[in-house]
Structure 1
Amino acid sequence: MQSISYIALGSNLNHPEQQIIRALQALDGLPGSYLLAYSSFYQSAPMGPQDQPSYINAVAKLSTALSPIELLDALQKIEDTQGRKREKRWGARTIDLDIILYDHTIMQTERLILPHYGAKERDFVLLPLSEISPRLTFPDGESVQEALQHCQNYGLQKITIDNDQETMSRHEL
């Protein structure tokens, strides 16, 4: 049975736009999964320590047969493949992949909280999410649009990526 999951992508190291494109390609290649849509790319100030580069962010909509924990394991494998180092909270990273929503599943384990605990507080998640699924609601009934009106502003700016990169990424996806 297929489920719909929304994945937040973020990067601020080693050519962030390319890191996001690589991660989107990897998401589309997960077993029993396929990429339905992905948002524009956005630049934002970092959360936490400000002594690091700005982030590039996007959100992907994924159809998957993987369970939430299997999907988490697959995302962490993609992060590892792309050189993610888990050295400090909110530190710079090559790629960060977070499950924001998995259908309307509510769960809390040591490894995974759904919906993502910080999703409603981050414009760099909510704005791209609203772009690809404008009528989406959280399990508590709050719409993405409502949450967006109340979240902190991280100086989000929509960015345009190089036409060659965009053509390559859309073609390969």
Structure 2
Amino acid sequence: MKSTAIRKLVLSIVAVAATGAATRPSVPVAIRDPLVGLRWSPATTAFAPVDADFLRRCPDLQNDNYAHQLWVLARSGDVMVVSGRYVPRRAGLDDSEGDLGAVVRLRPDGCALVGPARALFVAPADYAPDVSGTEAQALATDAADRFVAAYRGPAGLCAAMRRQGKRLSGFPAMLRAAFRGKAPCLR
């Protein structure tokens, strides 16, 4: 009798937990950032999400089946580097990390997709005149600052890099220069 009551209680708890999980929006276990290749979780890493104004200006990032959940990895004036994942709008669709690292220029009447995020820091001259060398350097510096803040300080960023086998030497030159000295592992 006692074991039947316990079994019913356990089944009830599992059913409630499963119902709660089904109604919560899914959060990816990890998203790979396009700049340095670190995997991170929105639950534990504090990159700032894009704001409503960004989504208003960039409606092409939404469609009937999927929305994009995006975070800001770098910003300089009206140029942003964003990354994220696809989020299904209805049941039955898979969510996906996607490959959403992009450089976007905000305009008063919308936004313009400039190109892939990492490529800006690998070959900045290829982005001229859309993004100047000065803007690219400012984005690299801002990215370094945002990564340190998102990982809750230099020690957190170093711990993530160690766990994932990332080294400063693997960063594109512009990012390597911007990140150098921001944390003990980045010397």
Q: TM-score, normalised by structure 2?
A: 0.28
- If you compute each CA radius of gyration, which structure gives the higher value, 1 or 2? 2
Q: TM-score, normalised by structure 1?
A: 0.29
With a CA cutoff of 8 Å and minimum separation of 6, indicate the structure with the bigger relative contact order. 1
Return the structure number with greater helix share: 2
